Amino acid sequence: MGILNKYKLIVLVTLITLISFFAGCAGRGKKLFIFAPIEIAEHKTTVNIVNFPEIIEFSFCSSSFNPDIAELTETVEDRVDKIPFIAFRAIPETLGVLIFIEDYSGSMLDRADEADSLISKTANEFPSLQVGIVRIGKKAIWALRPTLGKEFINLKLSKLPKPPPNGTSLARGIFTALDSLPGQIGALVIISDASADHGFRLEDALHTANLREIPIVVVQLQGERNEVLDTIVNRVDGFYLHSSDPYDLNEVLSGGWKVVYTPQVIDTNGAEHNIVLRWGSKKKIGKYTAPGTPKPKLVVIEEKIPKPIIEPIVIEGIRVPFMIENNARLLKQAKTLLDSFINALPKSEFPLMIKIEGYTCDIGNAAYNLDLSIRRAKIVANYMRRNSKITLNFEIVGHGENDPLVLNNSKQNRQINRRVEIRLIY
């Protein structure tokens, strides 16, 4: 046999062996995957940058999302950082009552059928959920008390009571809806358009919803993102849904998520941040433009006659908890504490001096913990500055893992040591 024929025979035997092998695999019911299928979801992501650079948050929908295996990376220019984050459901899985606050003002009358259709679709999708409707115009009225979704089949929503259309009583609608929500198993959905206005006592209504930890989803049916509706979502950690978004309300209820993190790159002066959140073979992609760091103002120091030195009087203040490790996010109970402290501050025509000291537990290295403690102190100062009607000056100090209140020998003790202490100094 010639050398050429010998090589042909070897190639033929090899091919037959490979074909037999794969046929055997197929016969055993197995598949050969060279590359796993990847599902990529890319869409416009609106990032809340009110607290930049301490907090970045964004929302998305995915029924398959698993925060336990997810990884978040952020790319700024040529730098890529893997960043720890917190993820939580926009609407809790224990949801039992859902109240729709349906805008029936003049600008919404042409879209009333669209709003009713959205409510009916949700009721049909969740037949065991109790669904109620508060309609708002010049006043707020109960169009339908909470009723099981399966009973909507025989209801004609267009026949339900309607309020006078002259106005948009958002606050009254929220207060009315809250009256019917038991405990913390309920949520609100506001259906409105780009003409929603602030109205009377909206801040009080949102504060009440916030204290009760009632989530609010805003569905805007038309127009550019409305500033008042945007305020509602930011005030109660809610979920904003626009008619142009790639997912609908039912997807938010079953798989809406919020992700919160602190970026590594903070002084970016308008650079673009690209976010990739990956879990398994799936990922979500988003981006935002950083607002940058303002340039420091020139301070002119005038020569003054020295005044007698007076020892400051330190007034004990409050202790703000940061129970989640490796994070500088203000939780709702922390915001409630800060609101109480701000309201109790004495009235003064001069700026008040507030000393804010940040602390961490012993998880992580000392340099990182020192930086984290300063970030925690800064976010508390920013919150107080935004919400106080009195001019405040701050002295910010970070102690890192030093000066723990208790020994760092258990999960509970470490939660106690993750804190910010606030004192008013006269």
The DSSP annotation for 144-200 comes to: EEEEEGGGGGG--GGGS-----SS--HHHHHHHHHTT--TTSEEEEEEE-TT----S
Cβ pair 408, 415 in contact under 8 A: no
Average of per-residue pLDDT values in the chain: 79
**Domain boundary, last residue among 237, 272, 298:** 237
In a domain, 175, yes or no: yes
Verify that 350 and 226 share a domain, yes or no: no
**Residues 161-194: pLDDT tens digits?**
999 888 788 888 999 998 888 766 899 999 998 7
Verify that 73 and 118 share a domain, yes or no: no
- Measured CA to CA, the distance from residue 49 to residue 47 in angstroms comes to 6
Q: Give me the sheet containing 79-83, strands edge to edge.
A: 39-42, 282-289, 272-279, 71-76, 79-83
Q: Is the dihedral of CA 298, 354, 335, 322 positive or negative?
A: positive
In a domain, 17, yes or no: no
Verify that 72 and 111 share a domain, yes or no: no
Q: Which residues of 398-418 are buried (b: 16+ CB within 10 A; e: fewer)?
A: bbbbeebeeebeeeeebbbbb
Number of domains making up the chain: 3
Verify that 229 and 324 share a domain, yes or no: no
In a domain, 299, yes or no: no
The residues, ordered by sequence, that sit 6+ positions from 321 with a Cβ below 8 Å of its Cβ are 331, 333, 334, 415, 416, 418, 419
Verify that 69 and 144 share a domain, yes or no: no
For the CA atoms of 381, 383, 385, 389, the dihedral, rounded to the nearest 10 degrees, stands at -140
Residue of 46 and 113 predicted with greater confidence: 113
42: nearest Cα among 256, 244, 259, 246: 246
Q: Is the dihedral of CA 334, 74, 361, 69 positive or negative?
A: positive
Verify that 217 and 269 share a domain, yes or no: no
Phi and psi at residue 196, to the nearest 5°? -60, 135
Verify that 221 and 161 share a domain, yes or no: yes
Cβ pair 239, 215 in contact under 8 A: yes
262: nearest Cα among 82, 40, 9: 82
Mean pLDDT in residue range 58-63: 82
Residue 22 has pLDDT above 60, yes or no: no
Verify that 330 and 417 share a domain, yes or no: yes
The residues, ordered by sequence, that sit 6+ positions from 115 with a Cβ below 8 Å of its Cβ are 102, 103, 108, 191, 221
Mean pLDDT in residue range 239-267: 84
According to the model, what pLDDT value does residue 216 have?
Answer: 92
- Measured CA to CA, the distance from residue 66 to residue 274 in angstroms comes to 21
In a domain, 295, yes or no: no
**Residues 118-145: pLDDT tens digits?**
999 999 999 999 999 999 988 899 999 9
According to the model, what pLDDT value does residue 144 have?
Answer: 94
Residue 279 structural domain: 39-90+259-289
Phi and psi at residue 227, to the nearest 5°? -65, -40
- Contacts within 8 Å (CB) and 24+ apart, 379-385: 379/51, 379/54, 379/55, 379/328, 379/329, 379/330, 380/320, 380/330, 380/338, 380/356, 380/420, 380/422, 381/354, 381/356, 382/51, 382/54, 383/330, 383/335, 383/338, 384/338, 384/341, 384/342, 384/354
Verify that 177 and 209 share a domain, yes or no: yes
Verify that 58 and 168 share a domain, yes or no: no
- 352-358 and 256-261 beta bridge pairing: unpaired
In a domain, 356, yes or no: yes
In a domain, 132, yes or no: yes
DSSP 48: B
- Joined tokens for residue 151: 């009973």
Q: Is 128 buried (19+), middle (13-18) or exposed (0-12) by CB count in 10 A?
A: exposed
In a domain, 76, yes or no: yes
**Residues 384-395: pLDDT tens digits?**
888 888 888 889
Residue 294 has pLDDT above 90, yes or no: no
Verify that 101 and 233 share a domain, yes or no: yes
Q: Could you tell me the CATH number of the domain that includes residue 355?
A: 3.30.1330.60
In a domain, 338, yes or no: yes
Verify that 212 and 344 share a domain, yes or no: no
Q: Could you tell me the CATH number of the domain that includes residue 148?
A: 3.40.50.410
Q: With a threshold of 0.85, does the pTM exceed it?
A: no
Rounded to whole angstroms, what are the CA distances from 412 to 369, 409, 421? 18, 9, 18
According to the model, what pLDDT value does residue 213 have?
Answer: 85
For the CA atoms of 174, 179, 183, 188, the dihedral, rounded to the nearest 10 degrees, stands at -30
Q: Could you tell me the CATH number of the domain that includes residue 265?
A: 2.60.40
